[in-house]
Amino acid sequence: MTDTVNTRELILDILLQVLEAGGYSHRVIGAVLDKYQYLDKRERAFLTQISKGTIQRRIEMDAEIDRFSSVKVGKMKPLIRNLLRMSVYQIRYMDSVPDAAACNEAVKLARKRGFASLGGFVNGVLRNIARHSAEITYPDEKEDVVRAFSVRYSMPEWITAQWIRDYGREQTREMLEAFLVDAPLTIRANPARISPEELMACLAAEGACARPLDPDAYPKLPCAFTLSGFDSPGGLKAFKEGLFYVQDISSMAVAEWAAPREGDYCIDVCAAPGGKSIHLAEMLAGTGHVQARDLTEKKVGLIRENIERHGLMNISVRCQDAVVLDPDSVGKADIVIADLPCSGLGVLRRKADIKYRMTPAQLGELAALQRKILDVVCAYVKPGGTLIYSTCTVSRMENEDNVRWFAETHPEFTVEKMEQMFPRRGPGDGFFIAKCVRGSVL
């Protein structure tokens, strides 16, 4: 580690911001990496792994600490409990860090941050855990499967119970296991500017590795790749030139399901940051038009920035509240994309803190908002046109239940197909898509 920056102290501050102050993990970690760009690759990887890993496995870490500490995690000072969490993570999941080093560095950091009197307590708890790390056990699934899954996979009990009820024990286990595996970064080539083969060569020249997806598993995504061997995708010249777009493969499926035809007019009602709108515009091959909308000028600015980088001409941006009817758009769109605000429980590999901040009440409020938006924006679909409803979550209330409600309240639409995509160990977040087609007569 460098003399000027204590990487473990940066990690501790990240955890305090995310787990105590309610910061968003991807933003907090990203801001620290941007501020300390001079850190070498090894230090940046160390910081990222411990920060993300500790947040991802917080419930498991707390259970272990509670088992070996006379003071329960909830009663500890915030700095001490997060210092213990990150240190236990190193002991349990980082073979490159000797247990003694994890303990000693934690004690030093406690002293540095004004808690010298608790140095002995920190040392005692961590050394006790290190001595018994091979004996760690989890709650018995036969006695309480919800509690067992919650601790083993660090998922709040209410979410675990809901998934077991809605999708069964084994599907829930597969999801929970997948959420603890790092998600590969996937990108989509910009066909207007470069071929997939040329993009691979271009990225290789920058030291990055783009691997095509398995064509048998993803036959409709020949322009999609997993990307590795880079520090930040935004730092690549190919990204700055708009040669590719960073997008999860589940999200890419939205435009594929919509299947735009040349000349189509499309509206994306909650478009930021613009990936699906841009994908539609690319599939239109310079014809038709896509109008990308979102609620705030900040979000609209982000969409506009992405459009400009990709050099597309058949797409525009508009600030529009999706719950407010736009009379001028009624019956005008061949395709409406409604990728709506949701609980985000499908993207926990990338934004693990979501599972700690989401509540059953908030989930219900989101489901109600989704219905309100669908009730408005379906009016924009012309006869014979398509409405695509999608979310990046795994939630029957927000997904299947909402589609059933929509079909009942809007009989002029036929649900052609819908699919709950579960998170995979490889590429692919948890995602939901439904395709609804409007009858030929208004």
Give per-residue pLDDT as tens, 100-150. Answer: 999 999 999 999 999 999 999 999 999 999 998 877 788 999 999 999 999
Tokens of 189: 């080539």
Give residue 1's pLDDT: 41
Q: Is the pLDDT of residue 50 over 60?
A: yes
pTM score: 0.93
3-state helix, strand, coil in the chain (%, to 5): 50, 15, 35
Give residue 219's pLDDT: 84
The full set of domain ranges for the chain reads 7-137, 248-438
Sign of CA dihedral 159, 172, 387, 251: positive
Tokens of 54: 């500790």
Residue 338 β-bridge partners: 389
Q: Do the Cβ atoms of 266 and 287 come closer than 8 Å?
A: no
pLDDT digits (tens, 9 = 90+) for 332-364: 999 999 999 999 999 999 999 999 999 999 999
Q: Is the pLDDT of residue 4 over 70?
A: no
248-438 maps to CATH 3.30.200.20: no
CATH number of 7-137: 1.10.940.10
Q: Is the peptide bond before 273 cis (omega within 30 degrees of 0)?
A: yes
Q: What are phi and psi of 186, to 5 degrees?
A: -115, 145
Q: Do the Cβ atoms of 195 and 153 come closer than 8 Å?
A: no
- Active-site residues, by number, are 392
Report angle CA 244, 248, 249 to the nearest 5 degrees: 95
Instruction: Report how far residue 380's alpha carbon sits from residue 173's, in angstroms, rounded to the nearest whole number.
Output: 40
